[in-house]
Amino acid sequence: MDALSPNTAGIPAIELARTPQDFKTFAERTLECKEKVVYYAGGIENIMVFYEQAYENDYYIPTRVERNILVKMLVPDSPVMRNYQSSDSQELRETRCLPEDMGMEDSFMIHDDTVVFFSGQQPLFALAITSPSIAKTMKIVFNKLWQNAQ
Protein backbone atom coordinates (compact mmCIF):
# COMPACT_ATOMS: atom_id res chain seq x y z
CA MET A 1 0.00 0.00 0.00
CA ASP A 2 2.88 2.41 0.54
CA ALA A 3 3.56 2.34 -3.20
CA LEU A 4 0.05 3.62 -3.84
CA SER A 5 0.29 6.49 -1.37
CA PRO A 6 3.90 7.47 -0.77
CA ASN A 7 3.03 11.00 0.37
CA THR A 8 1.47 10.83 3.84
CA ALA A 9 1.78 14.54 4.65
CA GLY A 10 -1.46 15.75 6.18
CA ILE A 11 -2.76 12.23 6.80
CA PRO A 12 -4.04 11.73 10.39
CA ALA A 13 -1.97 9.69 12.81
CA ILE A 14 -3.78 6.45 13.63
CA GLU A 15 -3.03 4.14 16.57
CA LEU A 16 -4.60 0.87 17.63
CA ALA A 17 -4.77 -0.20 21.27
CA ARG A 18 -5.38 -3.81 22.24
CA THR A 19 -3.94 -4.28 25.72
CA PRO A 20 -4.88 -2.84 29.12
CA GLN A 21 -1.61 -0.88 29.13
CA ASP A 22 -2.42 0.55 25.67
CA PHE A 23 -5.85 1.66 26.95
CA LYS A 24 -4.22 3.37 29.95
CA THR A 25 -1.80 5.13 27.59
CA PHE A 26 -4.75 6.57 25.67
CA ALA A 27 -6.43 7.63 28.94
CA GLU A 28 -3.28 9.22 30.32
CA ARG A 29 -2.87 11.35 27.22
CA THR A 30 -6.09 13.11 28.23
CA LEU A 31 -4.31 14.17 31.43
CA GLU A 32 -2.10 16.38 29.23
CA CYS A 33 -5.14 17.89 27.49
CA LYS A 34 -4.40 21.49 26.46
CA GLU A 35 -8.08 22.41 26.03
CA LYS A 36 -8.83 21.18 29.58
CA VAL A 37 -11.98 19.36 28.35
CA VAL A 38 -12.46 15.70 27.51
CA TYR A 39 -15.66 14.69 25.70
CA TYR A 40 -17.01 11.16 26.10
CA ALA A 41 -20.09 9.55 24.53
CA GLY A 42 -21.22 5.96 24.95
CA GLY A 43 -21.86 3.53 27.75
CA ILE A 44 -20.25 4.10 31.13
CA GLU A 45 -20.01 0.34 31.32
CA ASN A 46 -17.52 0.52 28.41
CA ILE A 47 -15.14 2.53 30.59
CA MET A 48 -15.35 -0.12 33.27
CA VAL A 49 -14.35 -2.78 30.76
CA PHE A 50 -11.33 -0.85 29.49
CA TYR A 51 -10.08 0.44 32.85
CA GLU A 52 -10.15 -1.15 36.29
CA GLN A 53 -12.23 0.81 38.80
CA ALA A 54 -9.19 1.15 41.10
CA TYR A 55 -7.20 2.81 38.27
CA GLU A 56 -10.01 5.26 37.62
CA ASN A 57 -10.75 6.04 41.29
CA ASP A 58 -7.22 6.02 42.69
CA TYR A 59 -5.24 7.56 39.84
CA TYR A 60 -7.07 8.84 36.79
CA ILE A 61 -9.87 10.90 38.37
CA PRO A 62 -7.75 12.49 41.14
CA THR A 63 -5.01 13.38 38.64
CA ARG A 64 -7.52 14.81 36.16
CA VAL A 65 -9.19 16.88 38.89
CA GLU A 66 -5.82 18.11 40.17
CA ARG A 67 -5.00 19.25 36.62
CA ASN A 68 -8.41 20.96 36.31
CA ILE A 69 -9.56 18.92 33.29
CA LEU A 70 -13.32 18.74 32.86
CA VAL A 71 -15.05 15.65 31.46
CA LYS A 72 -18.34 16.02 29.64
CA MET A 73 -20.10 12.65 29.42
CA LEU A 74 -23.08 11.67 27.28
CA VAL A 75 -24.26 8.23 28.35
CA PRO A 76 -27.44 6.15 28.39
CA ASP A 77 -29.52 6.37 31.55
CA SER A 78 -28.64 3.60 33.99
CA PRO A 79 -27.97 3.15 37.70
CA VAL A 80 -24.24 3.46 36.97
CA MET A 81 -24.87 6.71 35.08
CA ARG A 82 -26.88 8.14 37.98
CA ASN A 83 -24.09 7.16 40.38
CA TYR A 84 -21.56 8.99 38.21
CA GLN A 85 -23.88 11.98 37.94
CA SER A 86 -24.24 12.17 41.73
CA SER A 87 -20.49 12.75 42.10
CA ASP A 88 -20.06 15.12 39.13
CA SER A 89 -19.26 18.22 41.18
CA GLN A 90 -16.57 16.45 43.24
CA GLU A 91 -14.97 14.88 40.16
CA LEU A 92 -15.01 17.87 37.77
CA ARG A 93 -17.44 16.18 35.42
CA GLU A 94 -20.78 16.93 33.77
CA THR A 95 -22.87 13.89 32.93
CA ARG A 96 -25.99 13.98 30.77
CA CYS A 97 -28.29 11.26 29.46
CA LEU A 98 -28.34 10.27 25.86
CA PRO A 99 -31.85 9.93 24.42
CA GLU A 100 -33.22 6.38 24.70
CA ASP A 101 -32.91 5.82 20.96
CA MET A 102 -29.18 6.63 21.10
CA GLY A 103 -27.94 3.57 22.97
CA MET A 104 -24.40 2.78 21.83
CA GLU A 105 -22.46 -0.47 22.01
CA ASP A 106 -19.28 1.42 21.21
CA SER A 107 -18.09 4.76 22.56
CA PHE A 108 -15.82 7.62 21.68
CA MET A 109 -13.70 10.16 23.50
CA ILE A 110 -12.35 13.46 22.17
CA HIS A 111 -9.54 15.58 23.55
CA ASP A 112 -7.60 18.29 21.78
CA ASP A 113 -7.03 17.00 18.21
CA THR A 114 -7.57 13.31 19.03
CA VAL A 115 -10.66 11.12 18.73
CA VAL A 116 -10.55 7.67 20.31
CA PHE A 117 -13.15 5.06 19.38
CA PHE A 118 -13.65 2.18 21.84
CA SER A 119 -15.15 -1.10 20.65
CA GLY A 120 -17.76 -2.54 22.98
CA GLN A 121 -17.35 -6.01 21.49
CA GLN A 122 -14.73 -8.71 21.99
CA PRO A 123 -11.93 -8.55 21.23
CA LEU A 124 -11.62 -5.17 22.92
CA PHE A 125 -9.72 -2.50 21.05
CA ALA A 126 -9.50 1.26 20.76
CA LEU A 127 -8.62 3.29 17.70
CA ALA A 128 -7.12 6.79 18.10
CA ILE A 129 -7.13 9.25 15.23
CA THR A 130 -5.20 12.48 15.64
CA SER A 131 -6.50 15.06 13.21
CA PRO A 132 -7.58 18.63 13.91
CA SER A 133 -10.37 18.49 11.30
CA ILE A 134 -11.76 15.12 12.43
CA ALA A 135 -11.64 16.19 16.10
CA LYS A 136 -13.40 19.46 15.23
CA THR A 137 -16.13 17.55 13.37
CA MET A 138 -16.63 15.11 16.25
CA LYS A 139 -16.80 18.00 18.76
CA ILE A 140 -19.57 19.57 16.66
CA VAL A 141 -21.47 16.27 16.73
CA PHE A 142 -20.87 15.88 20.47
CA ASN A 143 -21.98 19.44 21.25
CA LYS A 144 -25.16 19.04 19.21
CA LEU A 145 -25.99 15.88 21.17
CA TRP A 146 -25.07 17.72 24.40
CA GLN A 147 -27.57 20.50 23.65
CA ASN A 148 -30.38 17.95 23.37
CA ALA A 149 -29.36 15.77 26.31
CA GLN A 150 -30.84 15.90 29.82
Domain that holds residue 130: 15-148
Say if 2 falls within a structural domain.
no
Say yes or no to pLDDT of 6 above 70. Answer: no
23 within a domain of the structure (yes/no): yes
Identify the residue with better confidence: 134 or 104: 134
Q: What is the DSSP secondary structure assignment for residue 58, as one 8-state letter?
A: I
Judge whether 20 lies within some domain. Answer: yes
Establish if 1 belongs to a structural domain: no
What's the domain count of the chain?
1
Could you tell me if residue 5 is inside a domain? Answer: no
The β-bridge partners of 94 are 72
- Write the burial class of residue 93 (CB in 10 Å: 0-12 exposed, 13-18 middle, 19+ buried): buried
Phi, psi of 109 (to 5 degrees): -135, 140
Q: What average pLDDT does the chain have?
A: 88
Compute the residue count for the chain: 150
Whole-structure pTM value? 0.88
Q: What is the pLDDT of residues 35-80, one digit of tens each?
A: 999 999 997 766 666 677 788 889 999 999 999 999 999 998 888 8
Q: What is the pLDDT of residue 3?
A: 44
Tell me, what CATH number does 119's domain have?
3.30.870.10
